[in-house]
Amino acid sequence: MTKTCARPFYVSGMTLLEVMAALLIFALAGTAIMKAAGEHLHNIGMIEEVTLATWVANNRLTQVHLEGRWPPQNNQRGQMDMAHRTWYWKQIVKETADKQLRQIEVEVRLDEQAPQAITSVSTYLAKPERAN
């Protein structure tokens, strides 16, 4: 005697094809999320780098102002430690149309040989009354 199984009219559950399609969708979404998170972290690092470089440039310009001397028109270089990194700055002094003013620009790099500065900040300095 053989038993016959009665098959229900409908079958519940997902087919293998439906499961594979769902996994593909989740994989694509996960990849997009990981890419966006990676770009976000990279951008945060760049913002931190530019902020610290700007602080280094502003510190150098403050030192120049506090010295109270008429800056010579020569390019000076130096380095400054900030946030456990060594930053390299280059000070460029330029004449202006007004002989009583000089423009001082400070470029900041993490690598002394880098062709492009991370940031540059400039200001103008008036000739002190007692300077030659």
Greatest CA separation found in the chain?
121
Per-block average pLDDT, block size 10, for the chain (132 residues)?
A: 64 84 96 96 95 97 91 90 97 94 96 95 90 53
DSSP for residue 5? P
Q: Choose among 72, 57, 77, 68: nearest CA to 123.
A: 57
Instruction: Please list, in sequence order, all residues whose beta carbon lies within 8 angstroms of the beta carbon of residue 88, skipping any fewer than 6 positions away.
Output: 77, 78, 79, 108, 109, 110, 111, 112
0.85 exceeded by pTM: no
